[in-house]
Structure 1
Amino acid sequence: MIEAVLFDMDGILIDSEREYDKAMREAITRYGHMITDEFLIRVRGIPVEAFKKSLKLEFGRDFPVEKFRNDFKSIVWQNIRQYGMPVKNGVYQLIQYLEVNNIRYAVATSNDRAMALELLEAADLRGVFEYMVCGDEVEHGKPFPDIYQKAADMLGVNIKHTLVIEDSYNGIRAGHAAGASVIMVPDLVQPTDEIRQMTDYVVSDLGKVISCISNF
């Protein structure tokens, strides 16, 4: 029986992953580099410090990580101010279902808390989620299980009775490693054979999660 649902944020609650990818590709050209699809898949869902290390591994130890991140965030927020931050399909429908059925829920995102709060505010979701664990609040980020274990502990629920909803490979690995049930809602990547073995269901949007919950 599912007692709590733990949501990833980017690509699950808000349609931010596309903005991140576009902004990274644009920002990196200022430094004479290109970002590959493989790199984007590899870093999707990981926390900030791990992302910084990945940049140096990819582009060299002298790569100006902080300057790049400032450029990247500037582009992201410029686009959000211009176009808004869309909420993913089924968010409100699923939250309403959880409320009616007394199932607790929280956000577990690799973003640092300041960025996460700003993004939820931009999507008009900040008041929806009372509980949140962020990437800068755990020792080991996704794909390690720490963030989901901490979120379950925060809600006072055994991790084995929680459902993790993710779109990234690293997030799914984290939920699976934590011992939670896992549903993938693909955003920019489809599940591989490895990822399918770690998920209980793969569905097209959050609204379709509702019919799965009673099966656990």
Structure 2
Amino acid sequence: MCGRYALYGPQSRLREQFGVEPANLEERYNIAPSQDAPIVRCGADGERELISARWGLLPSWVKEPGKLAQPINAKVETAGEKPMFRHAFKRSRVLVPASGFYEWVPVAGYKQPFFIRPVGGEELFGFGGLLEHWDGPEGQILTFAILTTAANDLMRPIHDRMPVIIRPEDYAAWLDHGVMDGLLVRELAGEYPSDEMEAYPVGRAVGNPRAQGERLVAPL
């Protein structure tokens, strides 16, 4: 799964990797569910745009949001069939820029957090995400979920699931509203190479969703 992630570093990375203007984003070392975060979508004019959405999917057809769980993750293997996700899976896929993500490993008496990032930490991940909108009394609310897939060799000792990571050469197809074939979408979300990722233990402070700062991603 993916329950916490980070986005920090030079904002030029967003322009260079995703082709969007960063709009003076603050560095975030501990993005948590129910918080707003930047995502990349294909706009009405066909150009990529960086927008803000809340992490926790709320489909447009929901009548009473308070009575329905708002999932932060969706399994890529089944998202195309489940009512909660299938519309966005076919027609509203997005990219979620991230410097890396956290996962916890049970050890004696506590859970040890790990930070997983691109090798060297100089690039960003582009998680595969799903975007929905809900029209409420105070206007439209944009929400998203991050797709997950089976762990690759690097992640397997840490957790059996990991975020779907889209390769940069597949960004255009992933964001294309015209690509609706479920098998092709799952191909785009194929296994990300272990040798392009690294993982290391970090301090337990990241467990507090209010915690921020570079110290959260510092290796123990």
Shared fold by TM > 0.5? no
Greater helix share, 1 or 2?
A: 1
Q: When the two structures are superposed, what TM-score results if normalisation uses the length of structure 2? A: 0.30
Where relative contact order (Cα < 8 A, 6+ residues apart) is larger, the structure is: 1
Greater strand share, 1 or 2?
A: 2
